[in-house]
């Protein structure tokens, strides 16, 4: 999987992020100096968790032959601050026709979505800096910095 952010000229922080054939506009809100042309990267993180959870639950329900009807996943996200961990509050909203057994099982399945598992697991970063030619092509070999972030 790959995502590439390209700065939009004439804007403060607005970027277009390319993912496969899709293009997502990302920016910061005006109160943080942006032009509010799209969701912020932090908001996209919450959106990734919400949408991944919803899709995972839908796929499981389809496999079981359950027609869930209206399904919503709401995520509240509080970024880490000094001395406090990052906090996600995920609310799985299911229609009234679901049984208590289905609700219990879907809650377990929701926690198994790939984004949820990534956020609660170990994460490895490999950061590189590459100098681009004026035409945007890489000019030389990137230097790498490796790091492992373990979550407890």
pLDDT for residue 105? 97
Tell me what the pLDDT averaged over the chain comes to.
89
pLDDT for residue 140? 60
Is it the case that residue 102 has pLDDT exceeding 60? yes
Where are the domains positioned within the chain? 1-38, 40-122
pLDDT for residue 138? 66
pLDDT digits (tens, 9 = 90+) for 13-68: 999 999 999 999 999 999 999 999 999 999 999 999 999 999 999 999 999 999 99
- Tokens 């996943």, located at residue: 73
Is it the case that residue 145 has pLDDT exceeding 70? no
- For residue 133, name the pLDDT band (cuts at 50, 70, 90): confident
What percent of the chain stands above pLDDT 70? Answer: 89
What class does CATH assign to 40-122? alpha beta
- For residue 143, name the pLDDT band (cuts at 50, 70, 90): low
pLDDT for residue 109? 97
């Amino acid at each position: 999987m790959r995502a590439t952010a390209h700065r939009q000229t004439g804007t403060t922080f607005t970027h277009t992020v390319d993912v496969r054939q899709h293009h997502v506009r990302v920016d910061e809100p005006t109160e943080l100096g942006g032009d509010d042309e799209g969701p912020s990267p932090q908001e996209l993180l919450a959106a990734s968790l919400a949408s991944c959870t919803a899709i995972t639950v839908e796929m499981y329900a389809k496999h079981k032959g359950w027609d869930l009807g209206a399904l919503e996943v709401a995520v509240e996200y509080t970024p880490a601050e000094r001395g406090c961990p990052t906090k996600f509050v995920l609310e799985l909203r299911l229609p009234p026709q679901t049984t208590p057994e289905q609700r219990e099982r879907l809650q377990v399945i929701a926690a198994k979505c790939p984004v949820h598992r990534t956020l609660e697991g170990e994460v490895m970063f490999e950061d590189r800096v590459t100098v681009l030619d004026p035409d945007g092509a890489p000019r030389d070999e990137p230097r790498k910095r490796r790091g492992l972030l373990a979550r407890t």
